[in-house]
Amino acid sequence: MERRTALPLQRRQIFATQDAEEARAFLGARGFLLDIPSREATDLDMRLKSVFLPGLLFTRLEYGAAVQVRTAENYEDYRFVAPLRGRLCGTIANEDVPCRPGAAMLVSPRLDNLLRVERDTAGLNVLLSGFMLRRHLVALLGEPLKAPLEFAVPLSLREGHGRSLAHFLRLAVAELERRDSILVEPIAAQSYRDFLTNALLIYHPHNYGERLRRLERPITPRDVKRAIDYIQENLDTKIGLPEIVAASGIPGRTLIKHFHDFRGTSPMRYLRSARFEKVHEALRRAEAKQNVTEIALQCGFTHMGRFSVEYRKRFGESPSQTLRGYKTIIAVSDCVPAAAQDRAGGQGASQYPD
């Protein structure tokens, strides 16, 4: 059974200390070994601010002193490390990787690694669940992994896919500063995590990259239909790309490409749109005693504020207006005499079928 690294359960965490032993204990409980030279201990001034999403941990971490950090032997997660101020230098699998603002490192677990942090350095750390990354890669490949997933370590944030990645990470960090962030909604958080995972697996070099690029397995509309049927049957269930890929019976890399070809969108965007269509129809057909919150929850939406905003953008009215509008139509229809309906040629019944 694959080991899963324990991540913090609380959504937000702030930690600050000038005590070396307290800093070692805090990081040690999270799978990191902190070495502080005795001459630096009095200037430690460690400050940490984290936001946790399922499978992702965003952390801004700064040190006043020069320190060295490595991961414990059984650490399983992948680390994106980018200095915001100062300088880092990593030694990963005997390769030295200097790193200043504008560059980053992507550190794979189980590789011998040492991160040297210079004095007065601050950086963004993003931890990605190793279990979920490997699960996603298996879905894309359509077969089990035969060796550990290992990414290339250096990553430029000023060009190519690294520049795009940095842009979307900055947007997420800014969004997560807000208490009413859309990313607190489980479906949105899962979609963002899947997007980030796809971006790394498809665009950043790793030891399975060539195999992904060579996938040329043919696909038919029937295969895409299997994926769509699965989505439609599970709109009120927490599902992601791996489950959709498994239902389709084809590698995920191929499914994503041809889903665009046949449907003009991605599987996860299709899933979100289908959920909104379902809740729209459910509101139109709601029983008299049902309310918006009850119906939205049944369709997989948990963040009512963000749900209402996106619903209005899609349908041009609020969820409550849809609900009230249909109930009003039924109430008026009930009050119209049968003879009047007959004179109208039964139009009321044909316009609003059951």
Q: Does residue 239 share a domain with residue 131?
A: no
Q: Does residue 176 share a domain with residue 88?
A: yes
Residues 6+ apart with CB under 8 A from 123: 60, 61, 62, 81, 82, 83, 84, 85, 86, 88, 117
- Rounded to 5°, the CA angle 158-162-164 comes to 90
Q: Does residue 233 share a domain with residue 188?
A: no
Once rounded to an integer, what is the mean pLDDT over residues 94-112? 92
pLDDT digits (tens, 9 = 90+) for 250-261: 899 889 988 888
Q: Does residue 278 share a domain with residue 319?
A: yes
Q: Does residue 79 share a domain with residue 24?
A: yes
Q: Does residue 289 share a domain with residue 198?
A: no
**CA dihedral over 319, 324, 329, 330, signed as positive or negative:** positive
pLDDT-derived band at 216, boundaries 50, 70, 90:
low
Domain annotation covers residue 340: no
Q: Does residue 249 share a domain with residue 189?
A: no
pLDDT digits (tens, 9 = 90+) for 283-304: 888 887 889 998 988 888 888 8
Q: How many other CB atoms are found less than 10 A from the CB of residue 286?
A: 19
More confident residue, 214 or 228: 228
Is the model's pLDDT at 327 over the cut of 60?
no
How far is residue 211 from each of residues 207, 237, 255, measured CA to CA in Å? 8, 32, 15
Q: What is the pLDDT of residue 16?
A: 96
In angstroms, the CA 248 to CA 165 distance is: 28
pLDDT digits (tens, 9 = 90+) for 301-318: 888 888 899 998 888 899
pLDDT digits (tens, 9 = 90+) for 162-193: 999 999 999 998 888 887 888 878 888 888 99
Give the tokens for residue 117: 């942090």
Residues 6+ apart with CB under 8 A from 54: 186, 189, 190, 193
Q: What is the pLDDT of residue 220?
A: 59
Q: What is the pLDDT of residue 217?
A: 52
Is the model's pLDDT at 326 over the cut of 60?
no
Is the model's pLDDT at 341 over the cut of 70?
no
Q: Does residue 233 share a domain with residue 172?
A: no
Q: Does residue 240 share a domain with residue 172?
A: no
Structural domain of residue 275, as residue ranges?
215-328
**C-alpha torsion 235→236→239→245, nearest 10:** -30
Domain annotation covers residue 126: yes
Is the model's pLDDT at 344 over the cut of 80?
no
How far is residue 207 from each of residues 20, 78, 149, 325, measured CA to CA in Å? 38, 15, 6, 56
Is the model's pLDDT at 10 over the cut of 80?
no
Instruction: Let me know: does 297 contact 187? Beta carbons within 8 Å.
Output: no
Residues 6+ apart with CB under 8 A from 65: 36, 40, 41, 42, 43, 44, 45, 119
Q: Does residue 185 share a domain with residue 121?
A: yes
Output the domain CATH number for residue 174: 2.60.120.10
Is the model's pLDDT at 4 over the cut of 80?
no
pLDDT-derived band at 102, boundaries 50, 70, 90:
very high
